[in-house]
Amino acid sequence: MKIGNVKIEGKYVLAPIADITDVAYRVLCRRYGASLVFSEMVSINALIRNNKATLKLTKIAEEERPVAIQLFGTKLEYFAKAVKLLDSDIIDLNLGCPATNILKQGAGGALLIRPGKIKEIIETLVKNTDKPVTVKMRSGMKKVNAVEIARIAEEAGASAITLHPRLVVQGYSGKADWSLIKEVKENVSIPVIGNGDVVDRASAEKMLKETKCDLVMIGRAAIGDPSIFSRLVNEKEKPSYEENIKLLFDYYELAKQYRVYNFDAFKRRAMDFTKSYPNSTRTRLKMAKLGTIEQIKEILV
């Protein structure tokens, strides 16, 4: 299938996850079968000011393509400038972030109560780039208006829609209402990506069957488990502790290679990669007190 002019091979994509999906993590997920990968959300305000930390978020590796950079903000003139600074294959607009600091800016999920503004932002992005523009949205702020927003996005020129069918005010509580993904799919002609509560091959296939969505986006289930994408396609066992620790240090090498390595961030990844294994609580408590990569290697390897 295609999103705009970008060919997507396969069905499973990596979600944009703050503090997780840097270039190194995205490359690792692509190597293990992710069909498309999304960056952490990027502030247009910081991007047009050439903020160093923000520019790191937009770093792209050739081997991870196709890749989408996700933007958030509200100012049309900033979107127009920011989109011209990106070298991604796809530009994604955040219409779902439930974080309080983002909502206070009127960005992310807060935009769902301003359909006119959403239309203007998408039109601005489409006008200022030749790359496909997509949106990632929730089902509404406090009440459901997913179909209305999806139709507006398509009319404004969006090439695909990702729906996480929870309200913004829900955060991650409750259950994702997959019937809304099906409803959106029936009301637009562009590709629809389903997201929410997919944790394994069975739930991924169930979402595809029940909603008829074109692609499935994996978010929280991919944290500390980049090889999940290979298990979605092939019937493989979850990696052993030793195998997952090897993946952690593959991430470390990639982070150094692409110059995004940061010890504190790596320690958080180490916590993620060890979380679901025996004695992980004890291991993670030990790691919390460590201050060097050598010390972490010593207790993990």
Terminal CA-CA length for the chain: 41
Please pick, among 97, 150, 192, 248, the residue that the annotation labels catalytic.
97
Domain boundaries, the chain: 2-223, 241-300
29 is catalytic: no
pLDDT of 284 > 90? The answer is no
The vertex-276 CA angle with 34 and 21, nearest 5°, equals: 35
* 18-28 pLDDT per residue, tens: 999 999 999 99
Task: Convert the pLDDT of each residue in 210-247 to its tens digit.
Answer: 999 999 999 999 999 999 999 998 877 889 999 999 99
Q: What is the mean pLDDT of residues 91-105?
A: 96
- Burial label for 91, CB within 10 Å (0-12, 13-18, 19+), is buried
| 2-223 classified as CATH 3.90.1300.10 | no
Dist. CA 110–CA 99, nearest whole Å: 10
Q: DSSP labels for 46-103?
A: HHTTT-HHHHHHT---GGG-SEEEEEE-S-HHHHHHHGGG---SEEEEEE----HHHH
Residue 278: pLDDT band (50, 70, 90) is: confident
Pick the closest to residue 293 from 260, 267, 268 (CA basis): 267
Residues in Cβ contact with 271 at an 8 Å cutoff, skipping those fewer than 6 apart: 224, 284, 287, 288
94: phi then psi, degrees, rounded to nearest 5: -80, 115
**Of residues 291 and 219, which shows the higher confidence score?**
219
Give the tokens for residue 175.
């259950």
The residue among 139, 134, 264 whose CA lies nearest residue 196 is 139
**DSSP 3-state assignment of 40?**
strand
Length of the chain: 301
